[in-house]
Amino acid sequence: MSEIVSEEPEIDTNTVPDIVVGRLPLYLRALSEMALADKHFTSSQELADALGISSAQIRKDLSHFGEFGKQGTGYAVLGLRDHLRNILQLDREWPLIVVGAGHIGSAVANYTGFAERGFRVVAVFDNNPARVGDGAGTHTVYAMNDLNAIVEKYKVRHAMLTVPAEAAQTVAEQVIAVGIRAILNYAPTTLAVPVGVHVEYIDPVLHLQRMTYYL
């Protein structure tokens, strides 16, 4: 039997399916809730029940990143939470900008849920001079001219777009040009972006329409 140089059981990050990565924040959220309730241990079954998915899926998903549990015992809530934070790079605070200071933009900029979970809104932008300066809640609204300076100053990589659908593609290009690499688009339209830039979408109407089919 020839000796085989054992290969590292390497964690090839490119190999983890997007759909698995997409569920990790959900696991993290459930664990944070448990931590808040002072729960010390949990199991894949308990997490599965809380999230309405299968325990096998949770174990399989986690197995892409390492071994975090103990047979017979399950997972330490704080331990697994911190592992997930680490995997998702959420063990730091990320600066965030909002582009578009209308109704949704202002609401989004003042939503306290971002700061509570690691994202800090550092600026709100609008191309309408009438909106610049006056507050979107506690935030001052900046002109688009200031985009580059602020993104560089705070090393911002995340942007939320709360502009009209017609403006979204142009605005996306503007923020990408200054270094934004993750866009959360609230405008009801699909964006075309270069590889290396990530886009996710929020369109509440799509959700309502989906459910209406079943009524």
Partner DNA sequence: TAGATTGTTAATCGATTAACAATC
Structure tokens at 40: 């010390």
Using the minimum distance from each CB to a second copy, give the nearer residue, 33 or 70.
33
Q: Does 74 bind DNA (CB under 7 A)?
A: yes
Which residues have a Cβ under 8 Å from the Cβ of 171 and sit 6 or more positions away?
99, 100, 161, 163
Measured between alpha carbons, how far is 172 from 115 in angstroms, rounded to an integer? 23
Question: What does 195 interact with, of a second copy, DNA, none (CB < 5 to 8 A by kind)?
Answer: none
Q: How many CB atoms lie within 10 A of CB 28?
A: 20
Q: Does 71 bind DNA (CB under 7 A)?
A: yes
Beta carbons of 30 and 50 less than 8 angstroms apart: yes
Q: Does 80 bind a second copy (CB under 8 A)?
A: no
Q: Does 59 bind DNA (CB under 7 A)?
A: yes
Beta carbons of 112 and 106 less than 8 angstroms apart: no
Among 26, 29, 57, 154, binds DNA (CB under 7 A): 57
Smallest separation (angstroms) from DNA to the CB of 169: 23
Among 27, 75, 119, 186, binds DNA (CB under 7 A): 75
By CB under 7 A, name the binding residues for DNA. Answer: 17-20, 43-45, 53-57, 59-60, 62-63, 67-75
